[in-house]
Amino acid sequence: MKRSRRGKAATSVSSLDATQALLAQILLHVMGEAGQKKKALALRNAGMSNAVIAELMGTSPEVIGSVIYQARRQGASKKGRKAAKRKRPGR
């Protein structure tokens, strides 16, 4: 079995049970034309690995890792800006 960089066993779509694979396909279908970032984040939030997400979306685990990293970074910077706006005194 392959290992990911974090030492966890990498999972593939074939290792998902039928229910998990079906639910992942339904999620992708329902999301329709949503962007790659939204789809990748939804699958990640459902507990899937980068390798599984990549197989489901027809891309590489490295691309999915990059997409998720950038999305989290953007989310963190937005939270930081909102917090900074709240801390401004007397406006």
Residues of the chain with pLDDT > 90, as a percent, come to 35
Residue ranges of domains in the chain: 13-86
> Is pLDDT above 70 for 91?
no
Architecture of the domain defined by 13-86: Orthogonal Bundle (1.10)
| 16 confidence band (pLDDT: 50, 70, 90) | confident
Neighbours of 52 (CB within 10 A): 25
Question: What pLDDT band is residue 13 in, cutting at 50, 70 and 90?
Answer: low
> Per-residue pLDDT tens for 44-87?
998 999 999 999 999 999 999 999 999 989 887 776 666 656 66
- Of 54, 55, 47, 50, whose CA–CA distance to 69 is shortest? 50
Structure tokens at 25: 């396909």
Contact 57, 49 (CB under 8 A): no
What's the whole-model pTM score?
0.65
